Amino acid sequence: MTFEEYFPVWKELTAAQQSRISAAVFYREVPRGTLLHNGSEDCTGVMLLRAGQLRAYILSEEGREITVYRLLERDVCLFSASCMMRSLRFDITIEAEKDSKLWVVPVDVYQQVMRESAPLANFTNELMASRLSDTMWLIEQILWKSQDKRLAAFLLEETALEGSDTLKITHEAIGNHLGTAREVITRMLRYFQSEGMVRLSRGTVEVTDRRALELLSR
């Protein structure tokens, strides 16, 4: 599959616009753990994920984290190009959670084409709307959903992403996803273990009762 086949509104661009983008786009393969975008200092470009998994998170001054969303195959990331829009004024960090392959369209080229192309601007709008919906959902979760429900939902989501019931993940990393202190995660996981829902060992959490986690997460 080529970039042209992956990029959602490719066929709605003019030939001139297509060749401008084709001439500028570049391909990257990055190992797990690579920091792809670091707050507002960076403005790498619009990323289109071919394979792998990226994580976008925000960071407090004290170094606490919360995951805002994940990017999977075929997802497009705008925030790595946040300088493109003057109204995007927040610092987000994007990191490869798995070995990843991606295309990057440089900011200036994407922006030039978007300024003149209603299809590309409307596509970007839908993307933005989708991220905004994720963010609103996250606010509801943080405010109104109890921590144990969020943890149960997170464990189920992770096992689905990993394709395995055994997660190699530390309590601190889980806390960083959920915006919760490590101690709170440890306490809840121990409770889950006492209820037979998970089995804990050093550096891993094994889901042993999906059904109970599903019930809890609702």
Q: In whole angstroms, how close is the CB of 70 to a second copy at the nearest point?
A: 16
Burial string for 179-188 (b: 16+ CB within 10 Å, else e) reads: bbeeebbbeb
d(CA 208, CA 192) in angstroms, rounded, equals 10
Q: Least distance to a second copy from the beta carbon of 180, Å?
A: 9
What is the identity of the amino acid at 208?
T
For a second copy, which is the closer residue by CB, 148 or 209? 148
The least distance separating a second copy from the CB of residue 139, rounded to whole angstroms, comes to 6
- Kindly tell me which of 88 and 156 has the beta carbon lying closer to a second copy: 88
Binding residues vs a second copy (CB under 8 A): 58, 60-62, 64, 66, 68, 85-90, 92, 114-118, 121-122, 124-133, 135-140, 142-144, 179
Tell the smallest beta-carbon distance from residue 158 to a second copy (Å).
21
Q: Which is nearer to a second copy, 76 or 198 (CB)?
A: 76
Pull the structure tokens for residue 16.
């001139």
Give me the count of residues in the chain.
218
Token pair of 178 as six digits: 């959920």
CB of 99 to a second copy, least distance (A): 28
Q: SS3 sequence, 165-217?
A: CEEECCHHHHHHHHCCCHHHHHHHHHHHHHCCCEEEECCEEEECCHHHHHHHH
Spatial contact of 69 and 97, defined as CB atoms under 8 Å apart: no
| Shorter beta-carbon distance to a second copy: residue 79 or 103 | 79
Distance linking the first and last C-alpha atoms of the chain: 38
Measured from the CB atom, the residue of 28 and 182 that comes closer to a second copy is 182
